[in-house]
Each structure stands twice: as C-alpha cells, then as structure tokens.
Structure 1
C-alpha cells in the first residue's frame, strides 16, 4: 500500500494526477459552476494540453467530468488546446480557446460547443479569428463576456515596442467578430515583461477591473497585475496598477460572474520545486480556492476566500488568546484554515510559526516598523529542490491590529489580509506530519484553527447560511 503524498492538496481543485495549469472557461450554466483548466492527462509536464473539467452546484461538492477539449492531430490545435474561456448562451455552452501549433508564433482563436451541459463537446470548423492584427508580436488567450446587447472579447497580446496589451473584439452573435483596437496597452517596461496573457475584465457599475498576467519572452510567466479604471468608446483608462497577489506562486487567474452578482476568481499555483521531484510525485500544479473579488470605494481591489470555502471547515483544533511571548499551540494537521488577530505591543515583530519535528518552519510575521507582513519559507523544507524566499504584503496604517486568514492544504498556502491583499506560495516540508503551531511576540492576540475536511466535497452546504457565518 502506497504512502499518501503529504504535499498533495485535498480540497483544492486539481485532477488526481498529472499536470494542471491555467483555469479556463469559468461559467455558470444549467445550475452548475463549471471550472475548466489546462491539463495534460498523460503526465506531470506542460505538453499535449487538453481542457480538464470539474463542475459543482455549490462550490463545495465537485464532480470531475470527462476531458472537454483535446488536440486534433493535424488540426489547428494539433499541439494543444490552450487558454481561453466559456460562456453560457441559452441551451449551449461555447468555449473560446487558443489553438496552439509549434509552427506559428500566434495562437488563433478557435471555438467548441456543448449542448449537454458540458459532458460532450464539438469543435466548430475553421477559426473564429485566424490571424492577429498588424503590429502584434504575441497573441493568445481570449476572454469573452456579455455586455448589454453585444458580446465582447479580449485577447492577450504584445504590440510593437514590447507593450503589453489587451485587444478588443465585439460580436452580435458569438460567430462574427470585428476588431475594435487595443482596449488598453501599457507603456514599455524595461526588464519587466514583453506581453500579456489571460486578460480578464470585471465591471463594478461604471468602473472596471482589468486583470492581466505578465509574460516575458525569455523568462516566461512572471506575475499578475490588476488595473482599475473606466471605459469610454472601447478604450480602458486606468488610474494605475498593482500586484493582484503578492506571492511567488500565483498566475493566470480567471474570473466568473456568479448568478448572485459576485465576481469569483480562481488562479493557478505552480510548483515551487525541482521538476524531477514533480515527475517522481506524478503531479504538478493546483488551482487556488475560489476567491471573491470586490472593489472598494477608494478603488482598492479586495480578495477573500469565497464564503463557500467555510464548508470545508471541520473540527476546531485551536482557540488561543492572550498567549505568552512564545506559546506552543499544538498540532494542526496538514490541511487547515487559520484566522488570527495580531496586535503588536511594541516595535518587535510578532506572528505565528508552522513547524515540523525536524526543525523546518514557515513564518508569518507582522513587522510594525516596516509596515508589512512577511511570509518566510527559507526554512520550510530540508529538501534543496524546494525554492526558498521571503515575501511581503503591505499593511494598512488605519488599525492597531492585523487580521489575516491562512488556508494551508498540503503544499499550498494562501494568505488573506482583512485589507483585501492576498499572497500565495508553495512549500514542501519533509519532516513528519502534521504541522505544529507556535506563536511569538507577546499577548493580546487571537488565533483559531479548523481542520479542513476533504469529506466536505460530499456535503451540500446552504449558501445563505455560509454568508451569515462569514459576516
């Protein structure tokens, strides 16, 4: 009997084995949330990309469905059905995706259709958009949405001069599309990025939020940025941009406009370990928990776990208040949901430490002098094939306490501050499970920890009840 892999997440979406990357095709259709994703069903490497598929009626109980899209030998997508999205249109679901072939630099836009709620898919002949407009040097990843009486599409691109851009198309019927021009193109960034992937767009009244993933021709995927602004005559004008996630292991997020009006977001968290280690494990990549994306009056983008994620909470294993300078709060397992309120009483750092019996530890530190929260994984794994690093999130200056939530599931760690900031990273302790929780830095703090119950996947959860608990 094989030993369970302690680094394999249990509540986060991913197929049982092999490769996963970008979330795709997020849509609500026929009473279900549908999450598609880039997937190699034959191994833990980024090759031969298909579209995997899960669906759920409540964002807690998930059903794995057959692969939705597969490359067609000799076809326009012979080397991969790459990123895109899907829409619900009457009794149909339509998927728009990047048709990948190694013999061309751009990825034309293809489409496929399902009339049985996503169980089977049929590709449309030809290409929706076969060639990119002049002046582009990168072109891929359509995002389609309904706005008023028309359908709109953004495509990630790079314009002459290495300017990341989202290009805008419009259609009355999802079949015939015309090019409107760049929706927004940023100025060149020396040493930063050369193009944009996976553009996503959410509207909040008369304001819009544009999310783009930064891609470099040499280094590949880099990070994700969010722009907030307004649109006029098919042109988006932002007030500025900032990181969507402050961690090193978050990329290519995708949006879903839920029927209750919320904007939900899933991201891809790649591996932060040696590729050979992933091959030995037989899997690579995971999707984040669903997050609710909102926009504050001051233009700040907020992220928090969707209320439904509370449905995975099981037994409470820690409730601690007013601990001493250093306290051992006991074991917390390998999958748990932690909330903390930290009130620094001096200029000294304070926070929590997760550690194993072998001296490995992951530190979450509130630094009141620097005005930031630091997540330090330099000593989180004794295996040299795991990446180290220290990552920072700015703190709000408006409160004397810091509230944060940390979801740990196997090797993925997602941290959310009450200010709306988020940080995602991966770590791979080799010591004996479970993690043990320690605190440091003085009294007047509160920590609660719940086990994450994988059995929650099989339990229906009342949506209104969860929102009541979350508030």
Structure 2
C-alpha cells in the first residue's frame, strides 16, 4: 500500500487547517457599554457598569483598551463582589484577556469555569504597596475544551491593599496573546563615590514599569523605594536622590530589585542607575519650565502634596511638604523643606525626613517650638510631628532647623489615624495633639454618620478628630474627640486654633476656637484643653483645587497664616518629559469676622505678597467688557496679579491668561501663575483656586462676559521666586 494519503484527503486536510487558521476572533466582552448587559454581579465592588478608567482614590489605571474596563475599586479596596458572564461555547484555541490589580489567587482573580469547576485562572500583578494600575496581557490555552460551555467569573473577595481586580478585552482567538516575558530579579554592586543616587524615570503613560528597588549594606536595608523605570528606552528625566543622610560614603552597596520579580525590559534602566553629583541630573532650566509655577512653592523635581510642619522659628518661616523625589505622582513620602525670612524669598533646603522604605513613609503633621523646654532638650527647640505609616504618630527635633532626630519614645501615639498637629495650650500648661482618627470609639457611636454622608463615603463611618495631651511631649493621653454626621467635614489633616472675632476691622473682645479639616470645612466653638465643643458648623467650602491646608505655629504678632496644597493637572500630552507636578498656595492670612449669621473666616493674601510685584503693567477705569478683555490679554500673562472691580455685584464670567477666574461678588484679587489661579473675592469673603486646562497653554487669552462693565482694573507683573529670579519667558 502507498504510504501517502490520496490527494483529495490532503486537500481536505489543508483546507480544514487553513479554515481553522483563518477563523476570526470572537470578542467575548470589551466592556465598552455603560452597563454589564447580560453579565451578573454580586456585592458592591463592580458598581453598576464598566468604569470609565480610573476611579476616585485610585492610582492612574492604564493598559486597557477603549474607554471602559471592569474595575472593582468601586468603594475602594474594602468592597467585594463577583461579575459573571453569560454562558458561551469554547470555539477557539485560546482566551486572551487584559488583567490588572491585585495578585491574590482566589481573591482577586479571573476564572474560567466549565461545569462549575475552575479550569483556568489569572490574577493581577500586584501584591505589595506601591505597584502600578496597569493591565497586562494574559492567555489561556483552552483547545482541550472545544465545544464545551463555559463562563467567565471575575472575583474580588479581598479587603485591604490591592483588594481589587481590573479586567478588559476578553477575546476568543486561535492565536495566543503576546504575553510579557517572565519576570526577573536584578542585582549589582554600587560604589558610593558621589553625593547622589541618579535614577532614570519614566513618566506615567511613557511605557515604564513600576518596580521596588533597594539599597543594601550587607543585610541592612539602607533605603527602598518604588520607581517607574523605562522599558528599553530613554528616560523622561533623572532623579537625583541625596545619600549623605545615610552615612554610606565610600562603601560598596548592593542595588537590587526588592519584593516581586520585575519585567526584564527594565534591565537597561537598572544598569543605568549611578552614583554621582546632582549636577549630572539637574540644570538651570528646572526652574523655568513652562509648566512650573513662577511664585508657588514646589520641589525642584518630583511630586508634592500636603504642606507640613509650618512654623516660624528663629526669624525663618519653615515650610515642609509631602515629597516624592522619584516621580511626578504620589509615592515614597519624604518631607521636603523650604525656608523664608519674609514669605516671598524662599530657599530650598535638604530633605528633612526620609522614609524608611515605602512601608514606613513619612506622612503629614505639624511643626512647633518647645519654648519652655518641656521635652528637656533645650528651650526654643524646633519640633515636627508626623505619621510614620509603619509605626504611628512620631516626633522629631532639630537644633539647626535642618536635620532632625526622632524621640526615643516614638511612636508617642499608636492608633488608626494620621496627620498630627501639635500646639501649646497655655491655660492648662499642656501640649495638645489634634489628629485624624478612623476607628470606632464612644464619640462615633454617640454621633452616627448621616445617611447622606454614608451614601457618599461609607468608608468614613468612624472618621473623627481626636485630642491627646502631654506635659513633656514624650507621653500622651487621649482626652476626647470630635465628630459630625457629615464625616467628610472631619476628614484628615486637622487644625485647631483660636482667633479673635473682629467687627469692622476691630476687636470685639470675643474669641472662637476653629476646628478645620482637609476639605476646608470648619467648626467654631470652644476648646478646654481636652475636647472641642462646637457652636456652629460645618462652614466654608472646598475652595476648588485647594486641599489639606495648614497654618503656621508660633507666627509673630499672633497672625494665623495658612498654606494649602494646590491640586494641579499633569500636562504630559503637551510636555511628556514633565519633571515637577503640583504646588503649594500663596500664604494667606485667616481672620474671623462678625456677620449677621455669626462669625466667619476670611482669607486674604499676606501683606508680604506685594513684594512679588515687579511693575504696574496696565490700569483702567470704567471699561466695557471688550476693553477690559483687550487690556487683560495684553498685560495679564502669567505670572501676574489682577485687581478687578465690576460696576455691579453678581456672577462675573472671567478668564485671565486662559484660566477661569470667574467669581460671585463685586471685586477680586487674582493671582495667575502658569498652572493655577488663586481668586480672593470681596476682601477675602470667598476664596477659590482653579487650574489651567491643557489647551490654555496655547489659547492663553483673557475674556470678560459681554455686557459686564468694569469699574476699575489694575494688572501687576510678578517676579519668579526661583533662581535665577526672573519673570521672563519659561524654558521650552
């Protein structure tokens, strides 16, 4: 017999193989609709439908296709649930999908079920703090199940860190997806023969990979940090991280990936990490980037958020701030530091507090002066209070105002909370700590969360501001707490201070204590050194892009001066190599004024802000809307200060240099910078911050609503606070 099949059989086999190879892909789900269609949900984690990208409180999500994806971060990492597909026939050799989020088998996973049994499963890539919200390709060979009926089950059964799963683009195909190569562990020696660690950085969306790196001296961890390294490409910029704090000069350390293995495509960037002078990474253009604000504090490179440790000490205003030296997004929380003799001329200082790795970051807190030597370290000692995320509430002190030593008693308070603000309460001769706390207590049981608050923020059910006191700064006792049915009004970064009540600019002889939260809501009442009793509140509003404000302790002449975090946008579409992100507000003074509705706060720029003025660029009176817009377009380009009074009160629609400066009232003082505008209305009765849209870098015009008449208008140019101190054109 012939050993070859007949030609007809060969043709049939060839045709069958070709037909199979040419079978089109079948999209099981792309999750582009507003709801889940025939998919069924349990629990709360998956919401009512696919998410339009990143959810509130979540790191930026990328790697999905189209506009929507499955994202079980609805309600944060505390929510759980499942999402299950309708049945479908296994008709191709592979199932390809995109998966991100937590990497916990059986808890944050995607399952393929046949006859009720899990036959394939996949998890996200993240198990440790840090990580990245990127979806990655996964593929299952399902050829053995051809013709069987299956379901996809997406599971979120985990509460806590990385307790969510992201899924998109489930496709039935005869071709396997191109899955990333298996992760690797990298390690090499690093000689400390320079002052700084130089690390290549990939910006969000630039194709980098977030990894955890560690510097080790033998078995001792010198520092660990999370950083986005480029994948086989050039970095967007280079971070320069000071090493002198760690006392490792001249030593040979080990640099290695810590925690989970990493994408092998970061190897080139890993090898490029070096030790050298900061001048190899930094340059004069850092201070004049087009997205860098000219007169708002920010780090030279990296990310900032909350202002911290605001205090006046030995003739200097100290501003510390939450700082990530390794990226332009939140993470790696250190304390950056600036000082000024006059609130306008600022000097960048070395990092004041260093994280002990990402799992023991230095979160927010306040600064104060131990004038009477309560701690036994000397009268006039400068202190800062901060949250160590790995330990609790901690204190550190400084003899030179630059380098800090922790108290041996740290943590001085251990609870579920953060953001301690400490001040001296002279009537009781004790120190008081106001600190955010989030755990069930007698106070939260006595004042339940309102239904409206629970619907908006169920995770804040036990939010409160707790009070502790101490005679020596080393041992502390809890004395009480304050909460409110609107839990958001007592959420994080608390402030407590006393102000005189003014009327027509003069004192009334009355005072009120002000309890202030991160969302800029405040209560007025009395504080007896142990607990706060509210007379009224919450008052105030969010002030737009203004958040987590703090006031200076020990300010001369009893002034109460506040600085907040201005939450600006990323401008990576226009500036892909952006090196700095976010900024702090101008300092402004808080005063309490009598009104028919009771005392209320006003917000006015500090008098020292006039020192920023360089020249009077333009002025006019009795102007039409068109005349005023023409004058503003010609003269009010950032950095500038505009003083405008309209002929009539009411809502005024106004754009200055491309930034919305609209307000309700008669007059406003408007400070316009490269990414933000601060608007003080009617002598500080209202205050709002708005940010520059990306398009306004190009369309930087000024507009006044047609028909609005301007009684008076003045525009001042403002100088830059950065070296070289100039308000000229920014660097490209």
TM range (shorter): 0.7 to 0.9
Conserved 8 A contact 2:567-2:583: yes
Q: Offset of 1:72 from its aligned partner? A: 2.5
Aligned to 1:153: 433
Aligned to 2:360: 79
Aligned to 2:620: 320
Higher normalized helix content (fraction of residues): 2
Q: Offset of 1:150 from its aligned partner? A: 1.5
Aligned to 2:402: 119
TM-score by length of 2: 0.50
Instruction: Write out per-residue CA displacement over residues 80-101 of structure 1, whole angstroms, 9 at most, x where no aligned residue.
Output: 1110111112242111100013
Segments of structure 2 that go 5 or more residues without pairing to the other structure are: 1-283, 371-378, 441-447, 449-460, 501-510, 726-732
Conserved 8 A contact 2:307-2:550: yes
**Which of 584, 591, 597 does residue 287 from structure 1 map onto?**
584
Conserved 8 A contact 1:27-1:87: yes
Conserved 8 A contact 2:661-2:677: no
Aligned to 1:336: 640
- The 1:194–1:435 alpha-carbon spacing in structure 2 relative to 1, beyond 3 Å, is closer
- Equivalent runs, 1:265-280 vs 2, <5 Å: 265-273=562-570, 280=577
Considering only aligned residues, what root-mean-square deviation do their CA atoms show, in Å? 2.7
- Equivalent runs, 1:47-446 vs 2, <5 Å: 47-73=331-357, 78-89=359-370, 90-101=379-390, 108-116=392-400, 118-132=401-415, 138-148=416-426, 149-160=429-440, 162-182=461-481, 184-188=482-486, 193=488, 196-205=491-500, 206-213=511-518, 223-232=519-528, 234-238=530-534, 239-247=536-544, 249-257=545-553, 258-273=555-570, 280-298=577-595, 299-327=599-627, 328-329=630-631, 330-344=634-648, 350-355=652-657, 361-365=658-662, 373=664, 395=665, 402-417=666-681, 418-430=683-695, 435-440=700-705, 441-446=707-712
Q: Offset of 1:332 from its aligned partner? A: 1.9
SS in 2 for 1:84: coil
Q: Distance in 2 between matches of 1:47 and 1:115?
A: 29
**Structure possessing the higher radius of gyration over alpha carbons:** 2
SS in 1 for 2:491: strand
Q: Distance in 2 between matches of 1:320 and 1:17?
A: 40
Conserved 8 A contact 2:659-2:693: no
Q: Offset of 1:278 from its aligned partner? A: 8.1
SS in 1 for 2:610: helix
Q: Offset of 1:323 from its aligned partner? A: 1.2
Instruction: Write out per-residue CA displacement over residues 22-60 of structure 1, whole angstroms, 9 at most, x where no aligned residue.
Output: 000011111111110000112212111111111111111
Q: Offset of 1:455 from its aligned partner? A: 5.8
TM-score by length of 1: 0.76
2:731 equivalent to 1:453: no
- The 1:186–1:350 alpha-carbon spacing in structure 2 relative to 1, beyond 3 Å, is closer
Q: Distance in 1 between matches of 2:489 and 2:462?
A: 6
Q: Which segment is superposed worse, 437-446 or 83-92?
A: 437-446
Q: Distance in 1 between matches of 2:687 and 2:699?
A: 25
Conserved 8 A contact 2:660-2:690: no
The higher-RCO structure (CA 8 Å, 6+ apart) is: 1
Conserved 8 A contact 1:353-1:439: yes
Aligned length: 391
- The 1:458–1:143 alpha-carbon spacing in structure 2 relative to 1, beyond 3 Å, is farther
Conserved 8 A contact 1:12-1:287: yes
Q: Distance in 1 between matches of 2:335 and 2:285?
A: 29
Q: Offset of 1:412 from its aligned partner? A: 1.1
Q: Distance in 1 between matches of 2:573 and 2:412?
A: 38
Conserved 8 A contact 1:50-1:70: yes
Conserved 8 A contact 1:28-1:34: yes
Q: Distance in 2 between matches of 1:124 and 1:2?
A: 40
SS in 1 for 2:624: coil
Conserved 8 A contact 2:549-2:563: yes
SS in 1 for 2:411: coil
Conserved 8 A contact 2:365-2:421: yes
Conserved 8 A contact 1:164-1:194: no
Conserved 8 A contact 2:366-2:384: yes
Conserved 8 A contact 1:245-1:424: no
Q: Distance in 1 between matches of 2:588 and 2:478?
A: 32
Q: Offset of 1:262 from its aligned partner? A: 0.6
Aligned to 1:389: none
- The 1:275–1:232 alpha-carbon spacing in structure 2 relative to 1, beyond 3 Å, is farther
